Chain A
Amino acid sequence: MLRSDWKPHPNRLAHSARTLALALATFCAVRYGVAQDAPLLSGGVALLTNTNAGNTSYTPIIEPLLAAPIGQHLLVESRAVLLESFSPKGGGQTGYDHAHFVGLTYLQGDYIALPHLTVVGGSFLLPFGSYNERLSPLWISNLQDGPTSSNLGLMSTGVGTGGVLRGSAVSRRKYSVDYATYFSSRVGNEYFASKRSSGGRASLYLPDARLEIGLSYNRLLQGTHENFYAVHLWWEPKDTGLRLRSEFNRGQHAQGYWIEADYRAQQFGGPDTFIGRFEPVFRIQQTFRRDTLVSDGVPLVDTQRADFGLDYNLPHNTRILTSYGRQFSSTGNRNIWETEIVYRFLFPAWKGKGL
């Protein structure tokens, strides 16, 4: 029986800690030393420039992602963002102000429970629409800015705290259906801020036509309850290098759509030739206010914007993104010039013996 006045001896505690650390290190070395499931570090490091209505800002940014499998069914993953932003001082002053931001984008545990079901818990990207989960990473997006209308349904932060049930419902050679449904609680702390909401997404993919259509719905469950809807349509004709993506979002107070086309010039000798590495991009988007009751990440007046981009895919996972955009609204039209160089890294989290 454990005595109530028992206290661990400091030396014994240190010895136990050392033993535990040694056991953990041995476990990791054996577990991950020669296997294919060593924890990985991935992400992007980039330098962004943005000239908006004549003011140029510079943003060095790193978005690291850690994915660590535990056992056969569990995966812990997290993405963070570290950035420093340099913007011109306003009010006729010369020079630049700078601000920095460090934070976790999400931190979640994924438990593969069944062949068609994965249970996700923690802080997660809201599975709504197609942009937030799939195209928002720095090393994936074709243009520096995300579409404005994709903010609808993301509950201000784009992140939920709670759980997700997701997976592939059906997967056949001719079609596949996947789903994600979530519940998020209200969290007010600065690291994992989220709103109480619930919803999900279902997508149908037709491989022969390379066509994907998806429907999303969620509902804000705090304050004034509101519904959000989205439908996305992607078409990527086989072996053409062309990708067409589009999405329509509708909220209680605003709605909008975006259509993006990008073409990898792989027809000219393959994707890894000088010409084949070019990737012109075009995106058009419109947002419409239904009223001005709340701020939901969508401009307070009807806005149209067209972006013309030219990306270049350098060897070694490096991309250069350039674009010119013109925005039209009743508050004034403006030009937006953006450039970015981004390097995508992907390697094991620690050294080990390869296979």
Chain B
Amino acid sequence: MSSKHLLLLAVVVLGLLSGRSQAASQDQAHAAKATKRPAAAVRASQHEDEGDRIFQQNCSRCHNAPEGFSDRISGTIVRHMRVRASLSQHEEQQLLRFLNP
């Protein structure tokens, strides 16, 4: 194997290792970012998950989600759904928060 081949092989291996380490560092950065997420953001995410769950389990049982609507009517939609889908007060609030994060 010539020195040229060895050099090429070294470059490829270094490149691969660099890529792996970069990915690993990105993962670590993501992990660090996740661990450093403020409590408010975690709570917001939980609300979003809860709202999404309520939407999937109640609204989507009967119909497809409409493709976008004005913020001005989100409260009216949720109140209408509360009556039509017999949502509890808690579910209504979570759903409103989900539609208006």
Contacts and interface: CB of A to CB of B under 8 A. Distances in A.
B86 A179 contact: yes
B37 interface: no
Contacts of B61: 212, 234, 236
A192 interface: no
Q: What does DSSP make chain B's interface, helix, strand, loop or mixed?
A: helix
A7 interface: no
Interface in B69-83: 69-77, 79-80, 82-83
Contact of A134 (B62, B64, B67): B62
B62 to A, nearest CB: 5
B73 A205 contact: no
7 contacts: A36-B75, A39-B73, A115-B88, A116-B88, A313-B64, A317-B67, A347-B69
B3 interface: no
A35 B75 contact: yes
B88 A75 contact: no
Interface of B: 53, 57, 61-64, 66-67, 69-77, 79-80, 82-91, 96, 100
A178 B86 contact: yes
Given A171-B90, A344-B66, A75 B72 contact: no
A110 to B, nearest CB: 5
A37 B75 CA distance: 5
A32 B86 contact: no
Nearest to B100: A36
B70 A133 contact: no
Contacts of B71: 36, 354-355
A180 B86 contact: yes
A267 B83 CA distance: 32
Contact of A346 (B62, B69, B79): B69
B79 A35 contact: no
Contacts of A35: 72, 75
Contacts of B100: 36, 355
Contacts of A179: 86
Contact of B74 (A36, A110, A134, A167): A36
A32 B72 contact: yes
Given A40-B80, A137-B63, A347-B69, 13 more contacts: A32-B72, A34-B72, A40-B76, A67-B76, A69-B75, A69-B76, A75-B83, A77-B80, A110-B83, A118-B82, A168-B91, A315-B67, A352-B72
Contacts of A355: 71-72, 100
Nearest to B63: A140
A182 interface: no
Contact of A38 (B62, B72, B82): B72
A84 to B, nearest CB: 26
A75 B86 contact: no
Contact of B80 (A67, A120, A176): A67
A75 B80 contact: yes
A348 B73 CA distance: 6
Given A67-B80, A166-B83, A168-B91, A135 B72 contact: no
A69 B62 contact: no
Nearest to A353: B72
